[in-house]
Amino acid sequence: MMIREEMEIIFHERIAEDTYRMTLQGDLPAEIRQPGQFVHILIDQSDSLRRPISIADADTAKQTLTILYKILGRGTAALSKKQSGDHLDVLGPGGNGFPIDSITAERALLVGGGIGVPPLYYLAKQLKEKGIEVTTVLGFQHEASVFFEEEFRELGEVFVTTNDGSYGNKGFVTEILPALEGRFDTYFSCGPAVMLKAVSEKLDGYEGYLSIEERLGCGVGACFACVVQAPEGDSKGYRKICHDGPVFRTGEVIL
Amino acid sequence: MTRLRLSMPGLDLKNPIMPASGCFGFGKEFSEFYDLSELGAVIIKAATGETRYGNPTPRVAETSAGMLNAIGLQNPGVDRIISEELPYLSEYNAPVIANVAGSTVEEYVEVAEKISRDHTINALELNISCPNVKEGGVQFGTDAALAAEVTRQVKQASEVPVYVKLSPNVTDIVGMAKAVEKAGADGLSMINTLAGMRLDLHRRKPIIANQTGGLSGPAIKPIAIRMIYQVYQEVDIPIIGMGGIETVEDIIEFLLAGASAVAVGSANFKNPFICKELIDQLPEAMERYGFDQVEEMIGGAHR
């Protein structure tokens, strides 16, 4: 169930260029059902819209959840100024994440691009717990923007790509995929729409799950700001990213 | 809590607070946060004759003290709203106002005829003011003769009272209000959003895919107050006021200006509990400003 509460910031630090890690404590982590769900944060009471941010990790025993975010505008810039001990107005957990309980994979491939990487970390931990082998491909702009490589390496093999080749393999995440053929049966991806489209085309035929980014309005499924088209023949014709997603099976929506 | 009660055509309200059309879907999502029976009424998302997909995304953008939206009247069409959405709402004890939209007078009439016959619906809100669709919508809301014509025909077709939702994107709001009153409107609902735009500096293009969007939120509240204040003096039909309401003080201001009830829109996005919280806070705020009954506040600024 979604709840709204004032969560306390208990940890906040910069982990890469314009990228921050924040841990929040409260009752909300107990409500998380799946990796891939998000929290909807009202950064300042004078803002008109909340900011949706994926849950990157959670610890129900400690009542904490972790978010990783990048400064992309006024809201996230203001968020980066918050300090440990401050409180944040958080609504969540929102949406449907990766269906961890029904996934039958034996070997999983995770493909994350930029600030799409965070939800894959909580997923990777849970896949590993289920005994599923995890291989991860992380794509970033350049060396300074790389984060969480070590954290993923503790869970399986990791390949890093940078657009300019300043770290890891030069190029996009899709250029690594052919070399990984045969090493996975199911894939999970999160990142910008162009990347998700390219990844799903390259991995056509595999079972796959995609987490989609969009500007949200209400974040609870009521305002229809974040719809994505469903393929022809679908009875509704659309999906709400905040409510039906943000994670969809490949083919469920048109990218 | 009888001090919050009031009556308007077709509506017996236990309090003057309702969610605004388009900001509350058909209620189901918000029923997870509180009991919808607590609401004065519910104004549901616009219905059109056929299924509409709406505009491309992005459909929303934040602005200073407000937001832009260009959803484009996405809805499953009047028939499916009646069969799939209204049964759920009928389980709650709150009057339901159906927002009726269309591209042609015939479509408005068709939707009004069908939905006003459903027993769940207590009144219609005639949407002649949506700024985000290419045909229909605001073109009816910015021309007094067209507005009167669609009002007259919908009024004839409807089984329940009709509230006409006015657009603020006009030079003479009083003229529009008088035209629809003369055409038979039972009430007014005002204001809809103001057409606006925001540009992305990196792409050098509008942020909203539809280019323009409707501005809502606290930024438009003074415009709503001014328009309601002016219209109240010139018409004899009641007004449901809306535009940037976030606090109980805002509600009192709308009522003093001349609204009989209010609708809360964008604030539901910031805080899904807002309507219930405002209902709970209203009696105390009324006391603070020296009011015993809601009805004493209506038009209080004109006495």
CB contact under 8 A, A221 and B65: no
Among A44, A49, A224, A238, pick the best mutation site for testing chain B contact (most B Cβ within 10 A): A224
Q: Which residue has the tokens 């039958």?
A: A104
A77 to chain B, closest Cα gap in Å: 15
Half-sphere exposure of B44 (CA within 13 A, CB side): 32
Helices B105-116 and B144-157 meet at what angle, rounded to 10?
30
Q: Which residues of B touch A (CB under 8 A)?
A: 22-25, 29-30, 32-33, 45, 51, 53-54, 57-63, 65-67, 69, 71, 74, 76, 217-218, 266, 268-273
Smallest Cβ–Cβ distance between B269 and the set A2, A49, A214 belongs to A49
**Chains A and B: how many Cβ contacts under 8 Å?**
96
pTM value is: 0.94
Question: What is the fold, at CATH topology level, of the domain defined by A3-94?
Answer: Elongation Factor Tu (Ef-tu); domain 3 (2.40.30)
Contact B196, B44 (CB under 8 A): no
Q: In this prediction, what percent of chain A has a pLDDT beyond 70? A: 100
B62 to chain A, closest Cα gap in Å: 6
Contact B3, B293 (CB under 8 A): yes
- Residues of chain A contacting residue B203, judged by C-beta atoms under 8 Å apart: none
Catalytic residue among B81, B126, B130, B157: B130
Among B26, B31, B51, B60, pick the best mutation site for testing chain A contact (most A Cβ within 10 A): B60
- Tens of pLDDT, residue by residue over B49-67, are 999 999 999 999 999 999 9
pLDDT at position B283: 97
pLDDT at position A236: 87
Question: What is the fold, at CATH topology level, of the domain defined by A100-213?
Answer: Rossmann fold (3.40.50)
User: What is residue A17's three-state secondary structure?
Assistant: coil
- Residues of chain B contacting residue A224, judged by C-beta atoms under 8 Å apart: 25, 45, 54, 59, 71, 74
- Tens of pLDDT, residue by residue over A107-132, are 999 999 999 999 999 999 999 999 99
As a whole number of angstroms, the distance between CA A50 and CA A75 comes to 9
CB contact under 8 A, B60 and A223: yes
CB contact under 8 A, B60 and A216: yes
How open is the CA angle A76-A242-A93, to the nearest 5 degrees? 75
Inter-CA distances, A183 with A128, A142, A195, Å: 16, 27, 21
For the record, the structure tokens of B40 come out as 């004065």
As a whole number of angstroms, the distance between CA B93 and CA A205 comes to 50
pLDDT at position B130: 77
Residue ranges for the known binding site of A are: 51-54, 75-76, 218, 223, 226, 242
As a whole number of angstroms, the distance between CA B44 and CA B59 comes to 19
Among A2, A41, A48, pick the best mutation site for testing chain B contact (most B Cβ within 10 A): A48
How far is it between the farthest Cα atoms of chain A? 51
Q: In this structure, what are the phi and psi dihedrals at residue B211, rounded to the nearest 5 degrees?
A: 70, -65
Contacts of residue B134, Cβ cutoff 8 Å, sequence gap at least 6? none
Residue spans of the domains in chain A: they are: 3-94, 100-213
Contacts of residue A186, Cβ cutoff 8 Å, sequence gap at least 6? A103, A104, A105, A107, A108, A109, A206, A207, A208, A209
Which amino acid, A85? Answer: G
Pairing of strands B261-264, B239-242: parallel
Which amino acid, A57? Answer: D
pLDDT at position B195: 95
As a whole number of angstroms, the distance between CA B244 and CA A86 comes to 28
Query: Prior bond to B191 cis, omega within 30?
Result: yes
A11 CB near a chain B CB, below 8 Å?
A: no
B239 to chain A, closest Cα gap in Å: 24
Does the pLDDT value for residue A11 go beyond 80? yes
pLDDT at position B135: 67
Q: Which segments in chain B show pLDDT lower than 50?
A: none
Residue A113 parent element (H or E): strand A107-113
Inter-CA distances, A38 with A50, A120, A121, A122, B295, Å: 12, 12, 13, 12, 43
- Residues of chain B contacting residue A227, judged by C-beta atoms under 8 Å apart: 53-54, 57, 59, 74
CB contact under 8 A, B270 and A47: yes
3-state secondary structure B58-80: CCEEEECCEEEECCCCCECCHHH
pLDDT at position B139: 80
